[in-house]
Each structure stands twice: as structure tokens, then as C-alpha cells.
Amino acid sequence: MSGPAAAAAHRALGLTDSEYDLIVEKMGREPNGVELAVFSLMWSEHCAYKHSKKLLGRLPTEGPHLLMGPGENAGAVSVGHGLAIAFKVESHNHPSAVEPFQGAATGVGGILRDVFAVGARPIAILDSLRFGELTSARPRYLLDGAVAGIGHYGNSIGVPTVGGEVYFEAPYEQNCLVNAMCLGIAREERLIRSAAAGVGNLLVLMGARTGRDGIGGASVLASAELDSSDASKRPSVQIGDPFEEKKLLECCLELLERGTLRSLQDLGAAGLSSSSAEMASKGEVGLDIDVSQVPLREDDMEPFEIMVSESQERMLCVIEPENLGELEEICERWEVRATAIGAVTGSRRLRVLDTRKGTGGEEVVGDMPVEALVDDCPLYDLEPARPDGQIYPAPQRSLDSDERGGALLALLASHNLSSRRPLFEQYDCLVGSRTVRRPQQADAAVLSLEADGARGGIAVSIDGNGRRVACDPYTGTVEAVLECAANLACVGAEPLGLTNCLNFGNPEKPHVAWQLERSVAGMVDALTELGVPVVGGNVSLYNQSGDGPIYPTPVVGMVGAVPDVERVAGAGFTTDGHTVALVCSPSAAISLPGSELAKLLGHELPDGLPEIDVAGTRRVIEAVRDTVREGGLASAHDVAEGGLAVALAESCLAGGIGATISLIEYGLQALFGEGAGRFVVSGLAEAIEALGAHATAIGTVGGEALEIGGRWSWSLEELREASGALALAFP
């Protein structure tokens, strides 16, 4: 392939002219069709992170509990008793915007494979979702399909969905966000890496047959903006089968338990191309793959189609030849297809063979240097430029008056703050019998580990706030990290590690590059202060349509250790007569601009948020965490979206009991302003006093209403009715 035809081919596959020239230089010749297809995916934004890799190198990735960091299928931390928790979050945004049910379902399937690929049994799923306002038909369709897809896959495979978040904002109208997080548990010594090893060892493909569904799916869709041709991209969305994955999961875990495998890798974006090239790169070896041995759903598939197909429920492993019989016997028992499709070589090249093409012998249809595929993709420097003012239009006004009483009910009834019960009731949150706190019972999900007679567990939370990051990418991201840590503190958990998914628009546009750069800087500073490492994650760029970019949305998932699950505090008030207190740093900064109330009032986004005292906020978080661990607090709830008044109402509703609150300040900012590092807690007076100067008593638990300052009163029934608004809007 050369001349105009080659130019048309590489541009159609998303490669620039300079990238194509570099490929020719690395290859020493022009690539053929198979090689060009493989390079186009390996050098795509989704696989190569070519606009974000330099930024990601700034994130802290070392910590005392770290067992497995960035670069593996999932990261892992030690939780004591010889146990490891593996976890990761990834996006499936573009496929979900094209076909929400299968896009979300296969997003769950992919993140599950990432976790059991390192040898951990999946024990929990969380999700972070963003859609447009539910006043229009498209977001309702996307929400309905995505929630159904998540529930279908997780419920079918038997892994509980224990937490998550969902928000509705106009900039996500065309480009929804579907981020899925998974946690798994393993003995530390059972963790396995993906590097191919041992020249002469066999490469075995396990799981479903390979088909044309998903060809160029996640890797291509995630590297381009969405447009009016979305419907035509439906064939690029993978089709999932959770029952096939369940068999594959159990089979892989048994093989790992027996020590049969040398390495294991998930087949995700770019299919065989990325999985094999990455395994070879990490192991500093070569691989030969015979595509004629790959089990197919359609017999007439071309070699390039087999290499780039993203068909689901497939894993790639390396085994010693003498273990092939044992592997085949175990796979047969689990009804999992297993086929030797190649071998490890010392060539440092990825060779694609096809015996179907020859006359009895093998024909080499692709021969590529592994280093060129994985390590030599050009990395681009961003060209950030702060925009001149906000680039997002003011939200549509939906609240006529800022009168305090009406404002609280309007906030509780808003789709961003109302009860998520209509959504999470579609998920099984109890299967597996580890769930200690159900969704909405506490600020973080809590899972029991039950090891060596210990009563310990883990807590996990996933957080993000695109509108706040749009106001101020640096401070908004700091807030997201601190909120995640605060949620863990409410259940007494110490953070061990964090995974992230950076969802942004087109990084080639200066204002988006600025958002991304400032957001990463905020994450670096917040995590450095907290002493929490990043164990891995995902970057999703080009979340943009003709209407403009999404809100910049860094999503963070944090895992923490809980020493005693029986002392975990809930979010709801529990007992008549308990003292209610506001816990915060004296330097805590809150603001009304950029808040949920400001959105309801139709205010434009501010150009900046108040600076956060991160060190002071960390001290408050630690004080709450320590007091919860001591069993002193009956409830602990982070003050987040909607501000203090909303947090108080949520604690009343979660506990089914009212409270009488006396405050010094009753202004809109005091009641509804937002910022990091504030908590509403309740307990005996001496427990509140133990929090010292951080805590200010503001009221008492009791009654059938929330009363604030003797000026406003809302019955629990009024609060409950307002909070149920999402149930009316959900299709």
C-alpha cells in the first residue's frame, strides 16, 4: 500500500500524516493493511494516552500499602492479614452514548476482567454516571439504558453494585459518562502480572469466539468526538454475555489457584492487538500469533479483523507447554473455550501469521516491532490557554425565589440531589454477603473481609463534580479528592489508594488542555497532602459534540481500611436527645456561586472557587475518622452538594427522625453554600466534645420535623416527598 491509497487509509484510521511517517520510519518500510490497522489502534488516544501520558507521570504512585501500581490491569493495596484489594475505574462513555444498554453492560464486563486478570475475585461494583437534564428525551433514554445495562451484567454475574453517583447537567446531553469501578480480593501471593515470559511458552486464548462486533469499538469511539452519525456507529459497540464471563472468571481463578498460568491479560480495547503487544512489551519478548487458530463466529473474517475485534469475554494467557493439558481439562470442566494461538519468542516483534493464506505453510501477514507499537507512539505536549471567562452557558433557571424554606425543598427535589432509590434498586447490592452498609445508608460503601477472626473490612467511595471543576479545574478537583476521603472518614476508613478516570473534552483545544492540566495539578497536590497513591485508572478524552465539551469531570474512587465494621457510622440520625454538631476547619471556605442552589437560580458559573486549606481539611477528616473508629459517633455525614441544610435533611431522612437546629448564621451561603471539609455528626455530648475545636454543637436530634433557627420547619413527610422526585422522572 503506497501513495494516495496509503494516505487515505491512515487518515481514515485516525493517524496523522506525521504519525504515519513515523510508523514507516520505525518499520523501515510502509505497513501493510494488517499492520496499519494494529498501529492505528495502538497509537489511538484510548490505548496510547498520547495527550495525557506526560501529565499522568506527575501523579503520586508510591505508598506504604501499595502492592501493584499503574501499568497493570488493576492496582492493588494491602489490607492486612495477607489480603490484597485490587481495584480500578474505567470509562465506557462513547459506546454508551451510541448504545447505552450494551455500552454500560460491557463497561461493567471489562472492569470485572481487569480485576480478575490480576488474580482477584471481584466483590463489588460502583458506577459514576452523567447525563443531560431529564427534561429532554435523549438523557432519559440514555439513563434508562445505562442503568439497565449495569444492573443486567452485575446482577447476572453475581457481583454486588454497592455504590455510585449520578448527576444531570446540560453539557452531558449528547455525551453521557459511564464510569465503572470494580474491587476484588486476593491473597497477596496470588496476585499475577500480565508480562509475557519464557521463550517457547504457549499463548492461549480463552473464552468467547471472536466476531465482528466491536471492531474498532472502544479504541476508535473513544478517540473522536461524537456527531450526528452516532446511530451508524452501533456495530462498533460490543455485545456482552455475563454468563459467559462468569464461567471465564471462575475458570481463570482456578487456574491461578493451581499455579497453571505464567501471566494473564484481559482483552479490552483493540482486542488481540493491544493485549498481545502490551504483554510482549512488559515481558521484553516477542509473540507469534496464528489468526487461523482463533475461534471465530464468522468464518470469513480477515486477519486484521481478528486482530482488532473487541468481542467480549476473552482472556489471553501464557503457559508452559507441559501445562496445556491441565489448562484444557480445567477449561472443559468450566465450559470455557481454550485454544493455543501462538507462542512467546525472543524476537521482540509481534508477528501475525495466517496458515489459511498459504499452501500448507504459514504466511506472515504482519510483522511489527513491539517497541514501536507500545513505546514509540508520539506523546504530545498540551497547549493550554485559560479561556476568557466561562465557556459554558448559564443553566436554565428552575427556581423563582431564594426563600430559605422553598429553596431546601427545591434542592431535595432536584434530580442531582433527590433519592437515588429508583436507580440502585435495580442493582443487587447484597449478593456475596459482604455488604455492611447498603446504598444511601452511609457516605461510603462498607464490605466485610472476615479474615482470621478479624472484624475488619474495607470502605470505598467514588466521587466527582463536573460543574465545580468547570468553575475552577484546580480547586474543583481538590474538592473531589477531599470529598472522597471525607466519605471514607464517615465510616472510619483510612485511605489506602485511589483510582481515577479523567473525563474531558478535546485536548487539542487550548481551553480543554488548560482544564486537564489544572485538574491534574489539583489532584497531585491533594493526594500528596493526604499521602494517598494513585494505583491506576483511565483517561477518557474527546467527550465533545457539536454543542461543545462536557464539563471537565475527574472521577476518583478511593479504597480505605476499616478496623471494625461493627463501629461503622451511618449517615442518618439515630437517637432522641443526641447532640448535632457541625465539624469543620476554622479556615473552611464555602461559596454560593457554583453551588446546586446557584444552578437552580440560573446563575452563571463563577470564574474560580475559594482557595481550600487542604492541610486543615485533612486534619478535620482525620479527626472525624478517628472518632468514628472509637465508636463515639452515632452518625457522620459529609456536607456536599446543596450545602449544610441539605446535609441536615438527608441525615433526618436516612434515620427517619427529625432535628432542631440553632445556627449563628442563617444566610443563603451558610445554609446552601458548598466547599470541602465539613461534616454533620451526631452523638452523645461527650463524643462531640472529643472532636475539640473542630466541632460546634448546632442542635439536637428528635421529633418529626427538621427545624432550623425557629424560622423554618419541614416535616419528615415533606422532605421525603420532595426527595422522591427522581422516581417520578425515571422512565
Residue 616: C-alpha distances to residues 372, 482, 486, 489, 612 (Å): 47, 11, 13, 15, 9
Sign of the alpha-carbon dihedral angle for 70, 204, 36, 541: negative
Whether 585 and 712 map to the same domain: the answer is yes
127 close to 464: Cβ distance less than 8 angstroms: no
Whether 414 and 300 map to the same domain: the answer is no
Query: Is 365 inside a domain boundary?
Result: yes
What is the pLDDT at residue 493? 96
Whether 587 and 719 map to the same domain: the answer is yes
What is the pLDDT at residue 430? 81
Q: Which helix (H) or strand (E) holds 457?
A: strand 457-463
Q: What's the domain count of the chain?
A: 2
Whether 679 and 719 map to the same domain: the answer is yes
Whether 716 and 583 map to the same domain: the answer is yes
Active-site entry in 10, 65, 92, 415: 92
pLDDT per position as a tens digit, 670-728 = 999 999 999 999 999 998 998 988 999 999 999 999 999 888 999 999 999 999 877 77
What is the pLDDT at residue 2? 55
> If you ran DSSP here, which 8-state letter would residue 712 be given?
E
Whether 208 and 332 map to the same domain: the answer is yes
What is the pLDDT at residue 403? 81
Residue 217 buriedness (CB in 10 A; 0-12 / 13-18 / 19+)? buried
For 583-608, what is the HEC assignment?
A: EECCCCCCECCCCHHHHHCCCCCCCC
Query: Is 213 inside a domain boundary?
Result: yes
CATH code at position 335: 3.90.650.10
Low-confidence ranges of the chain (pLDDT < 70): 1-7, 216-236, 357-361, 451-454, 729-731
Query: Is 338 inside a domain boundary?
Result: yes
For every residue of 106-123, DSSP letters joined together read HHHHHHHHHHHTTT-EEE
For residues 725 and 287, give the distance between their C-alpha atoms in angstroms, rounded to a whole number: 56
Whether 247 and 304 map to the same domain: the answer is yes
pLDDT per position as a tens digit, 471-518 = 999 999 999 999 999 999 999 999 999 999 999 999 999 999 999 999
For residues 429 and 442, give the distance between their C-alpha atoms in angstroms, rounded to a whole number: 14
Whether 306 and 414 map to the same domain: the answer is no
Whether 258 and 360 map to the same domain: the answer is yes
Query: Is 147 inside a domain boundary?
Result: no
For residues 235 and 99, give the distance between their C-alpha atoms in angstroms, rounded to a whole number: 9
What is the pLDDT at residue 4? 56
Residue 637 falls in the annotated catalytic set: no
Among 377, 397, 430, identify where a domain stops. Answer: 377
**Three-class DSSP category at 672:** helix
What is the pLDDT at residue 14? 86
Residue 92 falls in the annotated catalytic set: yes
Domain containing 588: what range? 409-418+569-723
Active-site entry in 10, 46, 152, 415: 46
